[in-house]
Every structure is written in structure tokens, then in C-alpha cells.
Amino acid sequence: MSKIYLSLGTNLGNKKENLTYAVQLLSEKIDILKTSSFYETEPVGYKDQPWFMNIVVEGTTHLSPEDLLVFTQSIEQAMKRVKTIVNGPRIIDVDILLYESVKINTETLIIPHPRMTERAFVMYPLFEISPDLIIDGKSLKNMMESFKGEEIKRLDV
């Protein structure tokens, strides 16, 4: 079993239901160990859209990184994600953040996620569930001390 971290986000429809359903689908092939609180975050890139709701999950899986990518994309397809604008509105987005200490850089998959340390919607929920995590030799705790990112709000839902 390999330890993984995934980021999930949505800004269309019932956001909490979207995230909850995606986690339910993920649990078919991933043992979910921890799920962060829900966070509301301003959009990154394309600004003319509703704010997002995001979570991060920690889990373990027997899937290889490539099979995990196929699985997460199948969940996006099952939930009818439609890509119309880069960084645009979406019913669900499931990103692989970390897969053990594996480093992959192919045309279809990059692990660790290349922009994760720049994004509040990833860093805050990740720090909540795994504050002692080390990424590329740097402690998440140290990264958070100097983190500056988009506006984010932890929700009590």
C-alpha cells in the first residue's frame, strides 16, 4: 500500500455534496485515512467564476501512480466534468499531490504536483491533516510560515 495525498475542488452545484460524493467514489480503490475540513477559496487564474470549495484527503492504495491518475480521471468523467476554460468552473477536480516519495515527470503526470506549494487551496487543508509532512526535503510547517496565496476560509459545514 502506498500513501497518497489528493486535492479535490468544485465550484458548481452543491459543492459539499460534490466533494462528499467524490470521496465516496475514491474510497472504492483508496483507503481514506484523513479528510481535511472544507475550505472556500477564491479562483486562481480565471477570476470570473464562483469561489471554490476544496478539501485534501490522505489515503493508501495499491494502484500505481499511472493507474491512480486513470482512476481519478474516471471519477471526474463519472461526475460529468466538462473542461471549457483553463482554470474555469468545474463540477469536480481531483489532483494527485503526492504519491509516497515518488517523483514522476511525464507528459501526462507530474508528481509531486508542480504548483501545489503555491496554492492556498492545497496548502491549508494539507497542513491541517498532515502538519509534519516533508515535501522535497522541506517541512510543510516551514513552508506555511512564509506562505502567501489566494484568499481562503475554513468552513464549518
Q: What is the pLDDT of residue 112?
A: 94
Select which of 31, 48, 67, 93 is catalytic: 93
Give 118-156 pLDDT, tens digit per residue: 899 999 999 999 999 999 888 999 889 878 877 899 998
State what percent of residues in the chain have pLDDT above 70: 99
Can 95 be counted among the known catalytic residues? yes
Let me know if 90 is a catalytic residue. yes
Cut 0.75: pTM above it: yes
pLDDT tens digit sequence for 72-124: 999 999 998 877 777 778 999 999 999 999 999 999 999 999 989 989 999 99
* Residue in 95, 119, 132, 136 annotated catalytic: 95
User: Hey, what domains does the chain have and what are their CATH numbers?
Assistant: 2-154 (3.30.70.560)
Residue of 31, 81, 119, 156 marked catalytic: 81
Q: Which residues of 99-125 are buried (b: 16+ CB within 10 A; e: fewer)?
A: beeeeeeeeeeebbbeebbebbbbbbb
Residue 58 is predicted with a pLDDT of: 98
Strands (E), the chain: 2-10, 31-35, 39-41, 52-61, 93-99, 104-105, 110-111, 134-135, 138-139, 152-154
Of residues 35 and 157, more confidently modeled: 35
Catalytic residue among 90, 115, 119, 156: 90
Q: Is 136 a catalytic residue?
A: no
Band of residue 40 on the pLDDT scale cut at 50, 70, 90:
very high
Higher pLDDT, 21 or 87: 21
